[in-house]
Each structure stands twice: as C-alpha cells, then as structure tokens.
Chains A and B, each alone.
Chain A
C-alpha cells in the first residue's frame, strides 16, 4: 500500500489531525487537566469544610498520609484483595476455558450464561450477595450448616471480609477470563497438537508444553487488565461494606473516596489518589510494553 498522493482540501490533507481532534481535546480537558489538578492539590492542605483558603504545604500531606497506619493498611489490602481475586480468577478461568474448548451442543448458551455476571450492575450484585452473606437468613450459612460447618460472619467480621468480597469479584470476573482464554485457544493452530499426539505426548505434557506457551500472550494481557480493574474495585466494596467493619475492607479507592467526599480533606485525598494513579499507570505501562514486545 503506497502512501496516498497529497491532494484535496485543507480538511482532507489534515484528516489525520482533524478526525481525532475532538476526542483528544475531550480526554485532555476532562481527564488530563483534572489529574494534573489533583497532583497540584496533593501539595496543599486544602480542606473544603474548614472554609480556609488553600495553602501550599509541599510534601507535608504526603508525610502525613505515609505515616497514617490506615493508609498503609489500605495499600496492603488493595494488593491482597487484587492478588487473591485475580489469581483464583486466572486458575479457574483457565480450567473452564480448557473444558469448554470443544464443540458441543449448548456451547452458545453456555457462553451466553457466562456473559451475564460481567454485564450485571455491580451495586445490585453487591446487594444481592449481602443477602447471601446475611448471618441469620443468608443462604451461605445455610449451606455451611448443611455441610456440618460452623456459621460464618462473612462480611461482618474483619477476618473474613476480604475473602468474602473477593469471592464476589471472582464470581463476576472469572467468566470473562474464561471467555478471553477460550477465544485465544480457538485461534491456536492444530498442527503442533497433531504432531505431539503422533509422538505420543500425554494430555498433561501437551498442556504445559504447547497450549500454555501459545496462550500466554492472551493470558498475560487479560491478567494485567483484570488486575488494574481489581485494584480499582469500588462499587462492590462500597455497596457491601462501605469499607467496614471498622476499616477492615477499606482499599485505596474507598479511602480516597471517603477522604474526598465524606471528610472533604482534598489535600490528603489527592495524595492517596496520586498513589492509586501511579499504581495504575505502572500497570498500564506494563501492558503497553508487553503489547509491543509481543506485537499484539
């Protein structure tokens, strides 16, 4: 395809600038500037409720937040929630994709059912799971007692709240990982499998030596995308526990939200946001890098 002859009107000659312009301006104005403003605010001690004008305190808000045990706990929790949810989702998603990767009657219906959790409204899902987890009338404890196990407090206790919330995330997002891997598996060529079978390889060897390496690029992209979304999980946690009991399910996102819109400590909230932002940015760069090296 040789490049087009330059010709035509101003619009046509500059189409590659004019066409994306509105979208770029929109994103810059609505996202880029606000993020810069947040950076600026993180160097102030602005508090909306105090009525005092904002004053620049440089790194003092950072010092305060970094020494805040609540922040460090939230940071750790954000990671442990993400690690727990995403690792289970990946393993389960892989298993499900391997099972479903063949032709069978009802495959379309199975895929449709797997789509439902991820298009469901997270707030509504969270509330429905609260009904399951309800210690006195919930189905979760009914199942446990039937199995002869002791009842649990689920989201009601600081020791079980994170796994309980992660379970909801796992329910909602495992199908997505499975669907992505399924389409990755479907695009693999048959040749290496056939020759491996001719050579008498076991199914287990075939999985580790052929399937896994070939599906790794898809798997990694899905994994990082999912991790970024898990780091930002808000709706489910906010709707189910609001960060409680105490602060025991408070992640960075929830903490930043409370600092901004409940305590109106904008300066300190901005510091938390900068950390969350950097975390997501690092993960995003990882994706971009990987896409480049894998030429996706």
Chain B
C-alpha cells in the first residue's frame, strides 16, 4: 500500500515539474498585467500585490486596441472563410482521387518561408496601390490558412467511408451534390479543427502585417510590437495588451481542445 502511495506522489511531482514551467510564464504575464509600474519594477519581484485594472484601461482607451482587435478579426475571419471555399473541394479531391502530388504541393506551400514571397508582394501591392488594404492582408493570410485547411481536411475526408457518397450517387445524386449534402454535413469535427487552427495562426501572424499594413489595417501583433518600441516600456500596459491578444486564441483552444490536439498532431503546425 505504502509503496503505491509513494509512487503516486512521485508521479504527481513529475507532472507538476512538467506543467509548472509551461504555465508559469503565462501566469506571470497575467499577474504583471494587473500590477502597477511600481510593483513591476520592484526588486525583488513581487508575488503579492494589490491588483489594478488601470493597465487594461490604458490599453483599450488610449491605445485604441479595439480597432486593432477588429482588424485582426476581419483579416482572420475572411482569410479562413475564403480558404474554406477553395480548400474544402481541393481537400476532397485529394482524398478521393488520391492526388499525392497535389498534397505534396500543398505541404510545400505550408513549409515555404513567408518572407520569400513577402518581398515580391510588397513590390506588387505597392504598384497596385493595395498597401494598407484589407485585400492585401487577407490574400497574404490566406497563404497561412489555406494550406492548413487543405492539409487537415484531406486526411479527415479520407476517414469518411466512401459508401456514404456512393449510396447517394446510386440514388441519382451527382458527385458534387453528394459532396455538398452528404460529405460536408458529417465533416463537422474536421472543419472545426481546421478552422480553429488556421484562425489562430492567422491571428498570431506578425510578419505579413508588419510589412503590408499601416495605420488603417494594423493588426494586433503589430500594435503590441509598436507599443513596446515607442518611448519607455510601460510594462503593465504591454502585459495587458499581451494578455488581451492571446485571450481569444487560448479561449478557442480551451473550447476545442480535443480538435486542436488532433490537428496539431496531424503535423499541421504554424503558418
């Protein structure tokens, strides 16, 4: 009896040794976002302090973070939506017609360094007077979201038994009809996985917006970056901004945890 207790205790300690280092930086960020500047620069660092909301007030009132929030949402949601429209049929085709080469093509698209096409875009979008436009940003973010969606969905469609469509087709439906009314309705979990992950990676993207957006379409990662570069670092406000920007991705992850794990372990990571 005793030995099994010791074993259990030891295992518990091991799990804590894994979880605490992972969680600690995030918790410290959260704590710092409720600290005054005095508490943040205090030495030794303070664990006990009186929480304040003034950092969040500063971020949302004075820094206009709401606008960047909306920009990030517009870009992320549109990029995901257009990628679904283009990606779902492509993924279906890869899965059902065993288009190996096409799937490799999409894999390579996901792996290519963003900067190797960002520079030409910069030149082209400036010529077309599309700098600082939602169009340019959405198009660029679609190169993050589309490969993720095709990648996840093609392996998801493969798990759907082909008999489903075949029986519909025997009843006289065309294949495209069967895809729309038989396959898509039961592909919900896969779509949730791919939408969640691709939205998060669009939301977190920094490089594309840093180059292609200016004041009008600036997204959150750029806003927080600029926030630090200006003047002396107001750590409390920066941490509040960091918490605010990460909250949506973390909440999505909590809601769709099961799907996110599945999507990530399928190898579809990062844009």
Contact = CB atoms under 8 A, between A and B. Distances in A.
B270 interface: yes
B70 interface: no
B69 interface: no
A287 B89 CA distance: 25
Nearest to A254: B115
B106 interface: yes
A179 B113 contact: no
Could you tell me the dominant secondary structure of chain B's interface residues?
helix
A10 to B, nearest CB: 11
B160 interface: no
Given A99-B18, A127-B242, A287-B107, A120 B249 contact: yes
B168 interface: no
B260 A119 contact: yes
Contact of B150 (A23, A128, A183): A23
Interface string A3-24: 0100011011001101110111
Contact of A117 (B22, B93, B107, B113): B22
B269 A229 contact: yes
Contacts of B140: 30
- Name the residue among A127, A176, A234 with the largest chain B CB count within 10 angstroms: A127
Given A23-B86, A34-B120, A124 B246 contact: yes
- Name the residue among B119, B239, B265 with the largest chain A CB count within 10 angstroms: B119
Nearest to B257: A112
A82 interface: no
A23 B109 CA distance: 11
Given A111-B257, A273-B115, A183 B265 contact: yes
A131 B32 contact: yes
Interface in A129-188: 129-132, 136-137, 139, 142, 171, 175-176, 179-180, 183
B104 A288 contact: yes
Contacts of A115: 253, 257, 260-261, 264
B261 A183 contact: yes
Contacts of A22: 85-86, 89-90
A233 to B, nearest CB: 10
A139 B28 contact: yes
B187 interface: no
Given A100-B18, A110-B15, A124-B224, A257 B174 contact: no
B193 to A, nearest CB: 13
A253 B115 contact: yes
A65 B147 CA distance: 32
B245 interface: yes
Nearest to A111: B261
A180 B253 contact: no
A27 B28 contact: no
A277 B112 contact: yes
A127 B228 contact: yes
B264 A232 contact: no
Contacts of B19: 110, 113-114
Contact of B28 (A41, A128, A136, A238): A128
Could you tell me the dominant secondary structure of chain A's interface residues?
helix
B86 A26 contact: yes
A121 B112 contact: no
B264 A118 contact: yes
B185 interface: no
Contacts of A257: 115, 207
A91 to B, nearest CB: 14
A286 to B, nearest CB: 11
Interface string A90-119: 000000100110001010101111111111
B200 to A, nearest CB: 5
B119 A114 contact: no
A16 B253 contact: no
Contacts of A26: 86, 142, 146
A219 interface: no
Contact of B105 (A24, A116, A253): A24
28 contacts: A12-B176, A16-B96, A31-B117, A34-B119, A99-B14, A100-B15, A112-B257, A113-B19, A119-B200, A121-B220, A127-B228, A128-B25, A128-B29, A142-B45, A176-B264, A179-B264, A183-B265, A228-B111, A235-B204, A238-B206, A239-B225, A239-B228, A260-B115, A260-B119, A266-B123, A273-B113, A276-B113, A277-B113
Given A34-B119, A35-B117, A125-B242, 7 more contacts: A99-B18, A119-B260, A234-B206, A261-B122, A276-B116, A277-B113, A288-B104
